[in-house]
Amino acid sequence: MIETSASSVTPAPWTVAVLGPGGIGGLVAALLARAGHRVICLAREETAAVLDERGLSLRSGQFGDFTVRVETDTRLREPVDAVVVAPKETALLSALDRVPREALGSALVIPLLNGVEHAAVLREHYPASQVVPGTIRAESTRVAPGVIEHGTPFAKIEVASTTADHARVEAFADVLSGAGFEAAVRADESSMLWGKLSMLLPMALLTTRYSVPIGGVRGEHRAELVSVLDEFKRVAEGVGAAVDTDAVLAFIDAAPEEMRSSMQRDADAGRPLEIDAIGGALLREAARQGVEVPVTAKLVAALGG
């Protein structure tokens, strides 16, 4: 598989709209703004008012603690270079109302969402040649409107597209790299998305189902963990995605004992869960292929999916 890393050359300033300045969107917005890019945060009126008054604050062991000024609006009203789509999947369709197709211009649309099905949704809303799916690996949480805590010593973004112009995708990766992200352009969109889901799905479903951190999952629930990874691998192979589930298991075994998934944190806070985007996506693809995934199905059902 061909994979290229973004260059370290600082690109000319871009204008980037960030739809959903929460944990992930806020991290992206803060780093891009600090790097000198023009950032427009698209959010609800209450959130926009807080950002206008106080700015956007990031607390990060990797990037430091700082506050930056960003522009805000409740709706995209002008052409931009890129739109980063970063709401929770449960709010995606309503959030897209803030980015009308007619206002998009030639902007790249870069979703940083959980799951594998959102790329098709965005390509129904916007020109397929402008949609560039991405994945992000970072623990980042909105602890208050306009206040983001980034907890991991890394922030990695990968982008890939079967439809967009490769040079423009590379240019956006350079923007991310210049802002501080470890950015890479992947050659295989499907393997990128399914690879992220292979890490997310077992951690999210098992930590949330049993209300235990990752140490408990790899301990008393290890048999289920291994079964879920085996089911996932068979489904991923059916869509032609190259997924290394052995590497996923090795990562989980090496992860901090008390590490929790974002779904588990959402459950503890009483927020809507992305069960459908994460577990439901696997079940639907398994059904299309006629692949039995009983362990995953039982976990999804137990979580109300």
Residue-wise pLDDT tens digits, 5-22: 454 444 689 999 999 999
What is the C-alpha separation between 175 and 14, in angstroms, rounded? 8
Q: Which fold has domain 191-302?
A: N-(1-d-carboxylethyl)-l-norvaline Dehydrogenase; domain 2 (1.10.1040)
Measured over the CA atoms of residue 46, residue 17, residue 59 and residue 116, the dihedral's sign is: positive
pLDDT tens-digit readout, 50-88: 999 999 999 999 999 999 999 999 999 999 999 999 999
Nearest to 291 by CA among 234, 237, 228: 234
Does residue 146 register a pLDDT over 80?
yes
Determine which of 6-15, 39-48, 230-239, 272-281 has the lowest per-residue pLDDT on average.
6-15
Share of the chain above pLDDT 90, in %: 90
Domain locations in the chain as residue ranges: 9-187, 191-302
Q: Give pLDDT, residue 7.
A: 45
pLDDT tens-digit readout, 238-247: 999 989 999 9
Q: How far apart are the first and last CA of the chain?
A: 34
- Pinpoint the alpha helices (H) of 35-125: 45-54, 92-95, 101-104, 118-125
Q: Into which CATH architecture does domain 9-187 fall?
A: 3-Layer(aba) Sandwich (3.40)
Does residue 221 register a pLDDT over 90?
yes
Backbone dihedral angles phi then psi of residue 60, each to the nearest 5 degrees:
-150, 130
Kindly indicate the confidence band of residue 1, based on its pLDDT and cuts at 50, 70 and 90. Answer: very low
Does residue 304 register a pLDDT over 60?
yes
